[in-house]
Chain A
Amino acid sequence: EAGVAQSPRYKIIEKRQSVAFWCNPISGHATLYWYQQILGQGPKLLIQFQNNGVVDDSQLPKDRFSAERLKGVDSTLKIQPAKLEDSAVYLCASTPVGGGGEQFFGPGTRLTVL
């Protein structure tokens, strides 16, 4: 079984630029999560999708961050414009259904904002 795929693996941009990350969850997994993990901290949930609907985006900074999962499969997370404090690893995870259970994480995208 293929795991969660993410791209790119690394990205370096300057502040005020835009960036997008892509995630393809495990086939058949209905629930998809985007996390932000700042160095030395635990992952922080940004947004949770159930199929193509948003379940929770309460911690997503909506003035600069957006995410979509149009066909209920892969997803993109965008930052526009980026700030220095957005430097972090962005992790995508998926589960077969919602309601708790093991989350399968992708390798992450390491973003550096200069």
Chain B
Amino acid sequence: GENVEQHPSTLSVQEGDSAVIKCTYSDSASNYFPWYKQELGKRPQLIIDIRSNVGEKKDQRIAVTLNKTAKHFSLHITETQPEDSAVYFCAPTNGNQFYFGTGTSLTVIP
């Protein structure tokens, strides 16, 4: 099955700084690349996604970049705020199989 890894596993940043989380995957057939945010005790919620025909997508303070050749995609959060503190999961898929990464715990220090 798909091998999905996230780095780093934990990340602490000062409020206002940027955060970057990287996801590597093994299935070259993957064509949909979402990032989910999960706050403590809550359900995962999609925050941004990208499809394989696009290299970068931005939504206000959040962006995702994709490198299909190297099989990795990254989540970028700028001007971080305390409410960005959560666990972030990548979940690349080929449309038939679904594997979530191990998660990155982000803490934004006020």
Q: Is the interface of B mostly helix, strand, loop or mixed?
A: loop
Instruction: State whether the Cβ of A43 lies closer than 8 Å to any Cβ in chain B.
Output: yes
Q: Name the interface residues of A58-94: CB closer than 8 Å to any CB of B.
A: 58, 91
Interface size on B, residues (CB 8 A): 23
Q: A101-B32, A105-B44, A105-B45 are in contact. Are A42 and B100 (CB under 8 A)?
A: yes
Total CB contacts across the A-B interface at under 8 A = 50
Q: Is the CB of A91 within 8 A of B100?
A: no
What's the tally of chain A residues with a CB closer than 8 Å to chain B? 23
Q: Is the CB of B96 within 8 A of A43?
A: no
Could you tell me the dominant secondary structure of chain A's interface residues? loop
Chain B CB within 8 A of A106 CB: yes
In the complex, the answer to whether A100 meets B93 with C-beta atoms within 8 Å is: yes
Separation in Å of the A39 CB from the closest CB of chain B?
11
Given contacts A41-B102, A42-B102, contact A99 B95 (CB under 8 A): yes
- CB <8 Å contact, B98 and A33: yes
Alpha-carbon distance between A91 and B91 when the two chains are bound, in angstroms = 15
Which A residues are within 8 Å of any B CB, using their own CB? Answer: 33, 35, 40-45, 48, 55-56, 58, 91, 98-103, 105-108
B positions within 8 Å CB-CB of A: 1, 31-32, 34, 42-46, 49, 89, 91, 93-103
